[in-house]
Structure 1
């Protein structure tokens, strides 16, 4: 039985080596360009080459994330970068931008492409379309229920990857515009400002305050360790750990624990989940949730008290005597551990540099003891004390990483026949086989003949390589002599040949992209998105198209139904629709596409037109210059005019979230207030929550027409 892949993050070379040492099957990394973790260390081009070679020697695959939207001016740089990756044998690239997928699929037929979770594929139809288009794998949206994943895997021949551990976005991935709109740092460009980790007040429609300025949108961290068997049974091919911005010790520990759990599942063994989860918590946690994939309760998904690492509770403050803090311990505390003392106003954190128990200096204080620690800050009696860094655990992990004991198992056959060249055949665990015939000719022994054990001992000396000897078979004549140097040379050259075999080459082929698209005539049209009958009568004589989100507002032939951005079950509908998510491109035949496809380049417009979109709405993340560049390049590249729309007047949908504050605080509509007193409208749509930007976005209508935009829209 083929085991599920364990896929680990690596923000730099240290983390990559830690992940491999801990037992991962694949790693995902980002380069200095087009990575959705722009603040991670990331890899230079030379480091990427080194990383691929290092990983491939161990039989570990390397996937490179190119999971951002790509502006028109960046397309050539993007193409050169992917060409470089392909020529250096990357196992796959992970893509968000649908236009760049179109370009790469046409240009590089041998390149394996995975659909990033940033594409927000969350249903059966989305996965089916990905298969039809040529994606090898889909990284499913974290919100996708396990039963949907199981059905996709059962019916569709496509690889599925799911997240099993790490940080969570509160918003559906790829659908968060909040950071870009508020802080000019785009989550779709790798520079998310994490505004979901900040404090907010919540008010109902009547301006009644519903909370006490806490972290309403700050999610807990995903941990599926105790549910891993359920996930594996669905048939997914890859289990992904989040954490390209985490340090090497985190990467090692999380990988090691999930490696143990996966192997134990297949070997029908049990593991100590409690101990594993405590260690995971000590390394990093904001509280753990099993996530919406495993149908976590809405009210257990977020941690509104604190947005940072919580560690594990290790005791309570018993008293404070001058500068001495007395902590009653319910766990072990050591020198150099990091602790945090909780307080309603402000936590206090520090490293333990001295400690006494019963006035005696101690390196370690144990459960039940009262440890005295120097602390010159005010601390309240009864405060909880958290262990946030287990120094000895981190030290042990560092040692394990440096020991570098991961080895590739090999079987060897030696042939030693008198008056014939010495031969060796080596087969590794992945069934790679090499043979080597030495120039050395086996001699008849004059005095001392060599024994089989001596040959095996010499061939087993693989200490400075990645290999470990498994089975050894020696076919030899009696009473022969072999020079020890010849055996060493035989082993060394055979293993170098095996290295070359393991550093496999992915066939590189590049085609010319030959576009073929119909031309749209230049027009100057208007559209509107409405929410009520009053809105309809305001715009019915001005707008050429009126988008409505409720069928009761389909009041004339101008009206087009706007479908949700998140669809768990599709309705049959034969008229034109405005679609906002991937699966709808397959389900419906007569459609326009909405802003949520994050279209910022001409290839995305081209591809959506090819898939049937009559009109393509551009992303909120484009300015006038970006719009002009896109349209000009479209006309130049494809010898046609695009039919694009720009939303000129709206409060943009900044977030769409499965996590729903409306359930907890019992509202259909409310407002978030940030630290600057900006207010964001929230709408509870039952199946998801939409948060709107506090500020209206506007474009000049006439200027847009001059740029070649065919339609401008007002969202009322």
Structure 2
């Protein structure tokens, strides 16, 4: 294999997770180039141990000592009352020399740039950056790097890199989210735990029944319809490097230090092999060891393109480890199994009968009995053996012939992995070049250069050199004494000796010089980078002071989002000020526009939630239809429309309305989107009533629109339920389009049916079965100057559309109370209506 000439080893980064100090040490010891970690709050792994803000200086000194970068995860939405704490944390990061913050919230990006023009920011995968246009949108904010969506494939990654020319970070190993990051609202809807706040409840890992046209589809042992396998791209690292990826990210801040040590070491070797010209792929044993640390089964995810059949197994939702085989026979105190992987006494097993919702039998291997297989020591490498389990661990009467057997733990592997970081020795050493100068009567002068950093210290002897009577100071003695760097970060690589005459200095003085030089070089490695800090930057309230005293809205507007032509035809007969058409296929838009034009009703067309490379034709078609407005759902699409507006200033252009999926959750984000050119802005669904009010008090509300009634769009995913379970195909090219003939929904454990809809890009949205209403807060919002309110429909017929619009119109006019709205809707809908994201 030939390494491409334009790819440099020093430009490639292996980025490892650290949920605590042991994980951080494990990552450094096993070859990570950079670490990402979180502190107490403001990160997307609220359940991890995390670090304390006060530890930032110590963390960065430790990492920089070993030449490793440290990135702080700030990858959640920030609410209004948290901005001051967020500013304090950013300030602490700047002072401690954190190498970058990984940010989701564009309002936070704005605040950081007000504080420092050069403090590095990485755009988190929660920004849903999946196209060159989305990268271009970030460039005015001087982001150093973007983390692409896990749904981008190799061709798209290369296209984004070639067009946008910004360093790209890509996930290569670990758990996959079935939903686009930053676009999952399931935990928020069902449990008040927002994925955009680091509190994901993993609803994708739950069992669901597939309902097709209202009838349950028999699925056998497949129940986990939304639970993806785990990403493992170790065997396609060369392709990723040549696609232009510069940072390879390992997921796992909730994982063990042994997991970190294992995965980091394997990917370190894969990267190093590429640059050594070695094109061999990982061995079977390496893959097994990766599976042992954590695996729901491995997949390339979407990196090689969409293959819905390979993404989800469907039979279990949790880590299984290494597959061994199936139970062939059950004896009095053992089971007989033909195993496919090594097994030892002390390893942990689980017996899988095909229903992980029930208690599974498992425990430690007590003994292995020969059954036509040669045992090597205590290990069986393969073949037919008897596995003896501890009687207190496994009830053999609950096992069945045919049960799958998985090796869930390997204590010997864990011990080997722990040894890499549970050591008193330095995790890494670095070469030093030393020059020695001097003459009789002057101090010995030593110049020490840390080769990898280029930093230099000079250490002189505390006494002058004397004439040597017997054994003058020479290269051999100097090499021996100055090279005794064991226990330090350094090793002597080069020694230059320039002594005049035959001179001598005590060996104790050479030892002191060596210790002093090593200590000073280490201190230089620990020095934090210096960033520009702007006086008073990032202050809160001043910019928004003019918006605090707001005039109440006397005549609020009501808009309606429709997903069928029947709904559009019903809504145009009401006093809604605008119709939003959010249809599954763009071919359905012209008829909706014609209906609205005939009725004299303004219409907005909705973009898809996601924007991939090569999808600008969709937006060109929208412009050709000349709607009054476009409901923009991602920054890639927004960049496209803003670019059109800028390049053709004399032409007609639609209004641009930013939807909830832009994740506006504080007044800084409102300001940012207003300044880039949005005409109207929809706040995030993550805000509860107090957080919404806090934002409205500081933001300019004159162009805001709040969604007050909808079926919450929970999962938004590239994984197509229709293709996977209703066709023989693998993607949209060969699935036969069952979505055009059938309606699917996912039935949860309590019997709720959650509709699954597709969009033009064949992505699925799973909607909550229960409508949500914020009607009782309308008077509060009107007092705060919000002029426009939206109701959204999903499957409602014309009569229901008229009823819902009528109730909200009456509430906005003050003819009925807001609580009466959702109570009446509850009375006509047996599933009831929650107040969803607007619960206090």
- TM-score, normalised with respect to structure 1: 0.95
Report the secondary structure of 2:755's partner residue.
strand
Deviations 1:254-305 (A, max 9, x none): 1111111111101101445133212211221111111213214111011201
Aligned to 1:712: 789
Q: CA–CA distance in 2 between the matches of 1:500 and 1:426? A: 13
Deviates most, 282-291 or 702-711:
702-711
Deviations 1:48-94 (A, max 9, x none): 32221111011110000010111111110111111111110000001
Q: CA–CA distance in 2 between the matches of 1:335 and 1:417? A: 67
Q: CA–CA distance in 2 between the matches of 1:656 and 1:485? A: 69
Q: 1:528 to 1:129 in 2, by over 3 A?
A: same
Q: 1:217 to 1:456 in 2, by over 3 A?
A: same
- How far the C-alpha of 1:517 sits from its partner, in A, is 11
For 1:144-543, list aligned pairs within 5 A.
144-212=152-220, 214-275=223-284, 276-345=286-355, 346=358, 348-352=360-364, 354-357=366-369, 363-368=378-383, 370-374=385-389, 375-377=394-396, 378-403=398-423, 404=425, 405-438=427-460, 439-504=462-527, 505-511=529-535, 512-513=537-538, 515=543, 523=553, 524-540=556-572, 541-543=574-576
Q: CA–CA distance in 1 between the matches of 2:661 and 2:446? A: 59
Asked if the contact 1:355/1:361 (under 8 Å) is kept, the reply is no
Q: CA–CA distance in 2 between the matches of 1:402 and 1:413? A: 35
- How far the C-alpha of 1:480 sits from its partner, in A, is 1.8
Match of residue 630, structure 1, among 695, 714, 718: 695
Asked if the contact 1:627/1:707 (under 8 Å) is kept, the reply is no
Q: CA–CA distance in 1 between the matches of 2:341 and 2:745? A: 43
2:96 is aligned with 1:88: yes
- TM-score, normalised with respect to structure 2: 0.81
Deviations 1:467-492 (A, max 9, x none): 22222222234532121121112112
Q: CA–CA distance in 2 between the matches of 1:149 and 1:606? A: 31
Deviations 1:370-396 (A, max 9, x none): 234133332112323211212211111
Q: CA–CA distance in 2 between the matches of 1:475 and 1:695? A: 83
For 1:37-116, list aligned pairs within 5 A.
37-116=45-124
Report the secondary structure of 1:294's partner residue.
coil
Asked if the contact 1:340/1:350 (under 8 Å) is kept, the reply is yes
Aligned to 1:662: 722
Q: CA–CA distance in 2 between the matches of 1:315 and 1:594? A: 50
Report the secondary structure of 2:494's partner residue.
strand
Structure 1 residue ranges without an equivalent (≥5): 635-639
Report the secondary structure of 1:196's partner residue.
helix
- How far the C-alpha of 1:353 sits from its partner, in A, is 5.1
- How far the C-alpha of 1:682 sits from its partner, in A, is 0.2
Aligned to 1:689: 764
Q: 1:641 to 1:416 in 2, by over 3 A?
A: same
Q: CA–CA distance in 2 between the matches of 1:233 and 1:659? A: 26
Q: CA–CA distance in 1 between the matches of 2:244 and 2:451? A: 24
Q: CA–CA distance in 2 between the matches of 1:3 and 1:268? A: 17
Report the secondary structure of 1:654's partner residue.
strand
Asked if the contact 1:365/1:371 (under 8 Å) is kept, the reply is no
Q: CA–CA distance in 2 between the matches of 1:652 and 1:369? A: 53
Q: 1:173 to 1:548 in 2, by over 3 A?
A: same
2:679 is aligned with 1:679: no
Deviates most, 41-50 or 699-708:
699-708
For 1:14-29, list aligned pairs within 5 A.
14-29=22-37
Q: How many residues align?
A: 711
Aligned to 1:637: none
Asked if the contact 2:321/2:408 (under 8 Å) is kept, the reply is yes
Deviations 1:308-355 (A, max 9, x none): 112222243242223333344333221221111121234735342521
Asked if the contact 1:354/1:361 (under 8 Å) is kept, the reply is no
Q: CA–CA distance in 2 between the matches of 1:419 and 1:192? A: 71
Aligned to 2:608: 564
Q: CA–CA distance in 2 between the matches of 1:75 and 1:584? A: 28
- How far the C-alpha of 1:663 sits from its partner, in A, is 0.6
Q: CA–CA distance in 2 between the matches of 1:52 and 1:25? A: 13
**RMSD (Å) for aligned C-alpha atoms:** 2.2
Q: CA–CA distance in 1 between the matches of 2:343 and 2:124? A: 42
Q: CA–CA distance in 2 between the matches of 1:153 and 1:695? A: 41
Q: CA–CA distance in 1 between the matches of 2:212 and 2:545? A: 49
Report the secondary structure of 1:306's partner residue.
coil
Structure 2 residue ranges without an equivalent (≥5): 1-7, 584-588, 643-654, 727-737, 794-840
Q: CA–CA distance in 1 between the matches of 2:12 and 2:376? A: 49
Report the secondary structure of 2:159's partner residue.
helix
Deviates most, 324-333 or 182-191:
324-333
Report the secondary structure of 1:18's partner residue.
helix
- How far the C-alpha of 1:665 sits from its partner, in A, is 2.7
Asked if the contact 1:432/1:498 (under 8 Å) is kept, the reply is no
- How far the C-alpha of 1:364 sits from its partner, in A, is 3.1
Asked if the contact 1:598/1:619 (under 8 Å) is kept, the reply is yes
Deviates most, 132-141 or 149-158:
149-158
Asked if the contact 1:521/1:641 (under 8 Å) is kept, the reply is no
Q: CA–CA distance in 1 between the matches of 2:384 and 2:152? A: 46
Asked if the contact 1:115/1:137 (under 8 Å) is kept, the reply is yes
